A and B are shown apart, each in its own frame.
Chain A
């Protein structure tokens, strides 16, 4: 599990007008870790996530991707550096077919794009849907399409924002299996709410609260931490 530090933030701060959404966050991620970010709504984890994906530029602080400073880079530049991003609301091309959606991602890598598309679709288990127009699929299926899109780019760092949202029980099981398989080759950050889901995939969990990290520990330890419980149950503000 442990290896070199591949993603690091120092003093990361994001301010919107008078509100400080992320407050001086120091974060480090090692190679082939599967880290979950949790925290109540408004804790700043989504904002932090958006900085990692390039959709937000931090007000202060730095982000290092394999020792390269990347804060403020545009999303496509991070995509070109091998970062795969899955957003909270399925961000897919509704008017195109499943195959085309994934193919556009696959062709960014050298090699046969069609073959890579097929293998990504198979890894996610939706190869039978490849000719369907994405706009006509269910929400859960679109989540899976987006996952296939992310995988087809063969990223070494994968950022997932609520991958289990809106999935049926069976689809969640599938997702767990996929993520567990992914972490053998890639490094993952998962933002999630579903504690049951988190328990099944996570090793280390980072807890956000009011823009700061208040705890970082293996899953079971974090849930025992009284501070974390207070935050979730609302006793501390």
Chain B
């Protein structure tokens, strides 16, 4: 068996860095798009009009029940078809991620709003505030405060999710590493690197979040 060749990492640094940049792009777009989409979905789900809330609920239910891999395949197939011309894996993947994560962000936002004490909306109403005033001035500020740690934690989850673009051969960090692993015949070194890098980023991220949370609970 060949001895380990850790130099392969140094030699492929540029390629890996490009992969990591793509991973970062995926995370940023998925998060921003997901939060905006999720907020919209949450608003729809809270609507008393069933023709608005039911499809939104259905959408969220489906997205949360189906593997991300399948969603990636769906949009890799669907997006070029819908646009009418071939499109790169990146665009399909971005669309897939935004639409997928929106469902999860929707549930986080809904839970945040629902977790505000029921008495708060009653108290606001009792002083004559209208429903949307109560939402804006009393409920949402409290809900956001509660949601922020969960939203931030979701970013770490999204970051891990982006590794799945492997299945559509998009060259993010994970896929780039696996390309080198098979090209140079160095799976041990590359996959160990992948594990270490993801671990470092996610662990530090979660730890920072936990500390921030503890600091807030003076």
Partners in one complex: no
Residues in A lying within 8 Å of B, measured CB to CB: none
